[in-house]
Structure 1
Amino acid sequence: MRKRTASPAWREREHRVAVLMFDRPAMFETSVAIEVWGNDRTEQGVPYSEVRLCSNEGPTLRVDVGFDIHLEHGLEALDWADTIVVPNGGRPNPVIEYEPVVLDALRAAHARGARLLSFCSGAFALAATGLLDGREATTHWTYMHQFRARHPSIALEPDVLYCGGDRLYTSAGTSAAIDLCLHLLREDWGADVANTVARRMVVPPHRDGGQSQYIEQPMPSSIDVDADLRAVLVWVEGNLERHLTVEELARRAAMTPRTFARRFRAATGTTPLQWILHQRVVASQRMLETTTVSVDEIAATVGFGSAAALRQHFTKVVGSTPSAYRATFRHAA
């Protein structure tokens, strides 16, 4: 007889999870849902969940890495489920036109009380239902522009690992799926259950920061601007420790401050001071990744003046504290 832990969220019965798959599904994100909810961990006090993989394109799907998977369930699993997971597919989800029968099934499931969540670019499927209109959502950072263009009525959150509420959740790319699942375990059954599952998966139960720390920052560098500005920006990149003003930079460019600010914004899309701030953050990232010097020394070297100022601006731009960033990226570098 299987021991089951009572859960007020699911009315003393098994939690039912349906994973909605499309052609060429991404197996990592699909496996996250199976790992979190599909393993029987009742002996460790984790409430039991049954997982069903389903699709309207089955019963056989080609997986993104080149093998076939046989599914036993169609869209009827969405009528059965308490939680519905939409992982990303091997094809670029932004170009998929979802079949009306799929979108109708997702809307009906949410209307009857089911919880819907997406991993990575699976957010495009939830967005296509209209359920996310007027709400906050996120997706992988490489799809941000496409998502915003296609769904302007959704409040896109580019710098978070996951977000949501009212039984609608979206997560960023790949491992952010784990973060969202652990968050939902914590909401459903408390921190002890989430921590137990996290320990079994050998992952942290909660990660600080957001996906902005993994984004290739698009702020132009000195090589991206016209020649008459390039020399000034190169000089700035080598003198970040100095107290830099627009007036000084304008003099070096042989322009008035107003002309320099106007030309600078046209070339970089931002103000001189914001550009300098960003270059200081980028320089501090490099030092955190490649050196062991203290945060105070880094702050002085890149021109922030104090560790407190570095932490304030670094956290705002990167979404993580300098110490947490170093712990994440130092060994990788």
Structure 2
Amino acid sequence: MQRVMQQAVPQAMHRVVVLALPGVVPFELGIPAKAFGLARGPDRNRLYEVITCTPDGRPVRTSEDFSIAVEHDAGVIATADTLIVAAVADPTGGSEPLPGPVAAALARLRPGTRLVSICTASFVLAAAGLLDGRPATTHWAHAERFRELYPRTPLDPDVLYVDDGDVLTSAGAAAGMDLCLHLIRHDHGSEIANQVARLCVVPPWRDGGQAQYIARPVPDATGSDTAGAREWALRQLHQPIQLAQLATQAGMSVRTFSRRFLAETGQTPGQWLTAQRLELARRLLESSDLPVDRVAEQAGFGSASSLRQHLAAAIGVSPAAYRRTFQGRHHGPTGRQPADAADRAPAGKWEV
């Protein structure tokens, strides 16, 4: 019996559709085209087709002093394997949470389409009800407003991105690149994702999350029963502070002070002291060249290992990595960034 040879049918490229809305942020809009456009298979074939659209196919004004013209309207969303909504500058500035044209565009989604938001585009997905009950993230500066508007979405503002299967959200700006690399890694493996990262001259995997970038100003301590004790403690962070000392500064018993302190700050005295020590350590790492062990001493952690433990627990990075992120002064003339001795040294026994 003669066998009939079947010709292999070429596999269609994964189609990524990027939706640009009025007020789109140009940097974030360009990330998907750059990342997915560089992804190549073993035979150098493109692995993704990237198409950009607006709700009506017309140019949209960006958050900067120019507009962007596209070749497609929202009709292409019905053909998407992955839909990415790019960030907008003011996610809550419109007269309605989800303008009619945007709602109509999202209504074109096919079942099973992978849905992605970059930065503040999470507000768009949430307004459409697509994040109800789904874990998500957004830019840390908008986290409080997001929680107010969309309490049905469990928000984690400390991470670079959240992967909930068919719905993925990323934090601010460059975290969109982290998420795109994560998707490429998921679809085609680490080798191709790493190759894209090299071509973009970005790390294939970033340590920590966006927690390390969140500004946490020390709250005003005036106008409360424990204010004086807190002001005193802020001047003594370099040395051990006992609960009894704080209570004495406030003229209260330890029990009364602890109860008042929790009511006024939402934290126990121990939690509050650790947060203030971390804030001081972060400022010193950002603004000084003090060795890590001296930073630990001045912030009251006692040892570099204790500081490493607390900083890693709070924001997921080491003191040396945090310093490199915010100072950028350890690069040589070639742009190389040497490993810090504090990162290479064994951690030893961490102090409590």
Query: Residue 85 of structure 1: SS of its match in structure 2?
Result: strand
Mapped partners of 2:229, 2:23: distance in 1: 49
Quote how far apart the aligned CAs of 1:71 are: 1.9
Cα offsets for 1:125-168 (capped at 9, x unmatched): 11123232222100011111121121111111110010022211
Q: Considering only aligned residues, what root-mean-square deviation do their CA atoms show, in Å?
A: 2.5
Cα offsets for 1:209-260 (capped at 9, x unmatched): 111111111441xx53237644432332232232212211111222222332
CA change 1:224–1:259 in 2 (3 A) is same
Select between 91-100 and 30-39 the one with higher mean Cα deviation. Answer: 91-100
Q: Corresponding residue for 2:232? A: 235
Match of 1:309 among 266, 283, 306: 306
**Structure 2: which 5+ residue stretches go unaligned?**
1-9, 331-352
Q: Is the 8 A contact 1:22 1:89 kept in 2?
A: yes
Match of 2:295 among 289, 293, 298: 298
Q: Corresponding residue for 1:330? A: 327
The residue correspondences of 1:28-107 to structure 2 (distance < 5 A) are: 28-39=27-38, 45=44, 47-93=46-92, 95=94, 96-99=96-99, 102-103=102-103, 105-106=105-106
Q: Corresponding residue for 1:287? A: 284
Mapped partners of 1:236, 1:93: distance in 2: 39
Mapped partners of 1:153, 1:233: distance in 2: 36
Q: Which amino acid aligns with 2:241?
A: L
Q: Corresponding residue for 2:169? A: 170
Q: Is the 8 A contact 2:20 2:53 kept in 1?
A: yes
**Structure 1: which 5+ residue stretches go unaligned?**
1-10
Q: Is the 8 A contact 2:292 2:304 kept in 1?
A: yes
Cα offsets for 1:20-48 (capped at 9, x unmatched): 11112110100111211235756884733
CA change 1:143–1:298 in 2 (3 A) is same
Quote how far apart the aligned CAs of 1:12 are: 2.6
Mapped partners of 1:68, 1:301: distance in 2: 50
Q: Is the 8 A contact 1:16 1:51 kept in 2?
A: yes
The residue correspondences of 1:103-252 to structure 2 (distance < 5 A) are: 103=103, 105-106=105-106, 109=109, 111=111, 113-220=112-219, 223-226=220-223, 229-252=226-249
Cα offsets for 1:238-287 (capped at 9, x unmatched): 32232212211111222222332233334433222111101111121122
Mapped partners of 2:204, 2:34: distance in 1: 14
Q: Is the 8 A contact 1:219 1:275 kept in 2?
A: no
Quote how far apart the aligned CAs of 1:104 are: 5.7
How many percent identity over aligned positions?
A: 41
Q: Is the 8 A contact 2:39 2:193 kept in 1?
A: no
- Give the TM-score normalised by structure 1: 0.87
Q: Which amino acid aligns with 2:98?
A: Y
**Structure 1 position 258 matched with structure 2 position 255:** yes
Cα offsets for 1:107-137 (capped at 9, x unmatched): 65251x2211001110011112323222210
Mapped partners of 1:69, 1:85: distance in 2: 17
Cα offsets for 1:280-323 (capped at 9, x unmatched): 11121122223344333332332223333222221222332212
CA change 1:203–1:40 in 2 (3 A) is closer
Quote how far apart the aligned CAs of 1:101 are: 6.0
Mapped partners of 1:135, 1:226: distance in 2: 40
Identify the structure with the greater helix proportion. Answer: 1
Mapped partners of 1:164, 1:41: distance in 2: 23
Cα offsets for 1:81-111 (capped at 9, x unmatched): 1111101123334645324564465365251
Q: Which amino acid aligns with 2:200?
A: M
Query: Residue 109 of structure 2: SS of its match in structure 1?
Result: helix
Q: Is the 8 A contact 1:107 1:131 kept in 2?
A: no
